[in-house]
Structure 1
């Protein structure tokens, strides 16, 4: 596994306690995002190193999440139906910044749009949806910090799934191993990917997507 890992309790020393933050695993100019799929899609995706297969549709929106524990909450540690396989998808951070520059919030933000119709027009025309959700602890608790997830569709999804992924790793075995420590309440043994606050270079993008001000220094 290319992903570097660290003890969960140690990781808390490096992360902000609150605010809207992009938390992710970075190495050099690459960043990891997570998705969970059924066996059919996961097998094709890992074998071909691109999103696809007979059960994958580029006609639907597909969501990516850079935060490991948020993904674990969403897929139930790879135990929810059709989310039995967890994939780590590596891409250039520059492409994440492109995605963010096109992101439209999933709920209306008066400070960004002159009216609701303007926002609705953006929702229809642009191909990236943005949501800030409560981050999660290993047991599903919600800290004050928010976690980001991004929905991709259309040409943006095709570009991501077919061209921009540099590596796809199946991390399901790692997920299941760590889930045992969660179930047995041994958080001192729980390991997670090394994740830190991800700095977004473009100030306009940072302000538009709502990253908390304390996250504006690298």
Structure 2
């Protein structure tokens, strides 16, 4: 049974895949270099998402302006876990923070922001659980780019194929999707990130 808050991802012992949507200019440069380079911005927050379905829903299946290319970015798990350890939720959840003031103080100085968004089904319906996205500020983006990234894959053709199937038939999309499973976190991180155990 899926918990209300849990991290679901395609991962192995050393790496985890996160997804991002960009313009062709940013995507082509990143694919060639196998890391993010100009015109990617190092001065603004970049969000990484381990849920494939949530990302393709958010990008309208790669059809939103500036989000037409879907990238699978495989990063080191120690980098991902560092981001989680530095993260502060984007809302002052009472289960986590003693007061709104405490949350504001932590949030304003945090190099990483953590947000939970409604997860999506293969056909875009809202599900009764949430998917995590992790915002990396300019204070940690260089480390993400230079030290965490293992490889970058262009998933745009896959997304286009899935969108055609989704629109044209009742055939299940599940067998075409990445093998996401629950990502383990410690009890301490669970409390901090709202993850139920």
Q: Is the shorter-chain TM-score for this pair beyond 0.5, marking a shared fold?
A: yes
Q: Which runs of 5+ in 2 are unaligned?
A: none
Other structure's SS at 1:134 match: strand
Aligned to 2:72: 88
Partners of 1:111 and 1:175 in 2: how far apart?
37
Q: 1:34 aligns with which of 4, 15, 19?
A: 19
Q: 2:106 aligns with which of 122, 136, 146?
A: 122
Other structure's SS at 2:177 match: strand
Tell me, yes or no, if the aligned pair for 1:18 and 1:143 is still in contact at 8 Å. Answer: no
Q: 2:126 aligns with which of 105, 129, 142?
A: 142
Partners of 1:158 and 1:138 in 2: how far apart?
33
Deviation at 1:110, TM superposition (A): 2.7
TM-score (norm 1): 0.85
Partners of 1:63 and 1:77 in 2: how far apart?
17
2:1 aligned with 1:19, yes or no? no
Partners of 1:27 and 1:187 in 2: how far apart?
29
Deviation at 1:154, TM superposition (A): 2.1
Aligned to 2:145: 161
Tell me, yes or no, if the aligned pair for 1:17 and 1:143 is still in contact at 8 Å. Answer: no
How many residues end up aligned between the 2 structures?
A: 196
Q: Which runs of 5+ in 1 are unaligned?
A: 1-15, 214-218
Partners of 2:122 and 2:169 in 1: how far apart?
10
Structure 1 window deviating more from structure 2 (103-112 vs 64-73): it is: 103-112
Aligned to 2:179: 194
Other structure's SS at 2:105 match: helix
Q: Give per-residue Cα distances to partners, 1:100-143, cap 9 Å, x unaligned.
A: 11111101123333322221121221111111111001222111
Aligned to 2:58: 74
Q: CA RMSD in A?
A: 1.4
2:87 aligned with 1:103, yes or no? yes
Deviation at 1:210, TM superposition (A): 1.0
Partners of 1:59 and 1:185 in 2: how far apart?
43
Structure 1 window deviating more from structure 2 (133-142 vs 64-73): it is: 133-142
Q: Give per-residue Cα distances to partners, 1:31-80, cap 9 Å, x unaligned.
A: 100000001100111111111212x2111111110001001101111111
Other structure's SS at 1:143 match: strand
Partners of 2:172 and 2:93 in 1: how far apart?
41
